[in-house]
Structures are given as structure tokens and as C-alpha cells.
Amino acid sequence: MTKALNRRDFIQNTSAILGVASVASGFTLTTFAADKGPASGGKRWGMLINTNILSEAEIDSMVSACKKEHGWGFEEHSTGSQKPSWIKKVKVQDRATKKITSLPLMCQHCEEPPCVDVCPTNASMKRLDGVVLVDRHLCIGCRFCMMACPYDARSFVHEDLSNQKEHMPRGKGTVESCTLCVHKIDNGEQPACVASVKTDAVIFGDLKDKNSIISKTLRKIQSTQIRADLNLNTGVRYSGI
């Protein structure tokens, strides 16, 4: 007994198949995500930078590692101050003592990030584990976050980009900054800049874990936050400035 497939049956069957397929793919996606584990509020990622032992060459290698990892700094048309700069080497001198210090400066991953406060579209956001990111799909390129950031940490993409990294989609007309290499830390790796330093001048880890090396070190040595007066409780801490 064969039955000719009429149009109604075809539409019914096709819809059913499509329906099942889309629901199933949803389950699959959810399952994969759950396997990997979403960002958890039980963690707070942080970094401790000891400028007493971190050499200038090491800071340069941190900057290079970040550029290579994320593919910024190779823009063709942008001028120096238009080129993105996710991390930079800053040299400061104490006015009273004349002591000179070099340090890497990037997004400080504040607990109370002003960029997230001012962003009109929720594109600037903070993950539960304290990483501050920009959702490039929601960013309208208003640059208010750049006005609000006390650390000059954010960059605006001033031109079309090509040859982008698969793990780091970037786009003309949106704002970007250090992601703390979420794609790496979510896989249990260290951020590229931290990995580039062979000494323990830069320590990365979970600030909420009392037994992590970063927490233990912070308990022992003197450290500070840049613009601590703003009470932003930064995830990036410095020792030696």
C-alpha cells in the first residue's frame, strides 16, 4: 500500500522533523555547555603583578603575547592612538622619592566596574567569576565605557579587520579590552600574558580560594590597587608601586 504524499502531509512531516531537530539541537547545545561548566560565582579570577621583580623585557613579552593571542595591534590604517591597546607598558616615577617603576596596565577587572555601570545596552558585562567583557553583539559603539574607565583600558576598533582569531571575534565600530583570556582560563590554562612570564612576577589565580597561590601571596606581601580610592575592588593587584 503506497500512499501518494500530498502537500499537506509533506508540510506536516517536514514541520515535525524540523521541530524535533531544532529542539534536539537545543538540548545538545545545552548539554555541551553544561559539560564545560558555566562561569561560576564561586571563583574570582585575579592577577598579582610584582613590579619589583618584573623586568621591562618581561612586560614587553606580555604585551607581545597578548597581541599574538588576540590579534590586535596589526591594524593598517589606525594611527598610534587609534590602534587598539589591550595591555600596555607604563613607566611611572614617584614625585617625592624619584623611584621609577614599570608596570603592565590592562583592564583591572573591577568588582564594581564603571564600564558596566554606564553601558546603555548591557554589552559591557561582568561574568560571575569576575571577568569583565564586552558582548560584541550588543555593543553599539557609543564609547561611554571608554569615558568611564579609570584605567584607559578600553579600545575602539577604528577600521575593518581581517584574519581574525577564531576564539576572538573583533569588529569595526565596537569596543574591546583584555578578556583575561577567558577562552584559555575556561580550559584550565593561564592567560597568555601570564604564561609569557617565566618567573613568578605575575601570578594568576582564584582570589576566592584561600589556598590558591595568589591568595596566599596576597596575604603575605604588601600590594595595592590602582586608584584604590575609587573603591572598585580590582581583580588585578600590584606589588611594588
Partner 1 sequence: MNKISKVRYQQVDGSGTGFYVLVALLSVLIVVALGAVYFMEHNGHYVTGMSNRIVWGTPHVFAIFLIVAASGALNVASISSVFQKKMYKPLSRLSGLVSLALLAGGLMILVLDLGRPDRLIVAMTEYNFKSIFAWNIILYNGFFVIVGVYLWMMFERRMNKFSSKVGLLALTWRLILTTGTGSIFGFLVSRQAYDAVIMAPMFIIMSFAFGLAFFILILLASYKWTERDLGDAIMNRLGNLLGVFIAAVIYFVAIYHLGNLYITENTGVEDFLLFDGEIYSQLFWYVQIILGGLVPIALIYSPVTRGNRMTLGLASVLVIIGGIAQIYVIIIGGQAYPMEMFPGMDIISGYGGIASYIPSIAEIFLGVGGIAVALITIVFFVKFLPFLPESLSDEVADPHHNR
Contact (CB, 8 A) for 194 and 215: no
Q: What are the contacts of 29-37 at 24+ separation with CB within 8 A? A: 36/186, 37/186
In the complex, least distance from residue 45 CB atom to partner 1, rounded to whole angstroms: 22
Nearer to partner 1, 142 or 168 (CB): 142
Please count the other Cβ atoms lying within 10 Å of the Cβ belonging to residue 192.
Answer: 20
Q: List contacts with partner 1 (CB under 8 A).
A: 75, 77-79, 81-85, 88-96, 100, 105, 114, 116-123, 138-144, 146-152, 154-160, 172-175, 226-227, 229-230, 241
Please count the other Cβ atoms lying within 10 Å of the Cβ belonging to residue 47.
Answer: 25
Nearer to partner 1, 39 or 118 (CB): 118
In the complex, least distance from residue 215 CB atom to partner 1, rounded to whole angstroms: 26
In the complex, least distance from residue 157 CB atom to partner 1, rounded to whole angstroms: 7
CA 164 → CA 17, 71, 168, distances in Å? 36, 7, 7
Q: What CA–CA distance (Å, rounded) separates 225 from 210?
A: 19
Nearer to partner 1, 139 or 185 (CB): 139
Nearer to partner 1, 150 or 190 (CB): 150
In the complex, least distance from residue 152 CB atom to partner 1, rounded to whole angstroms: 6
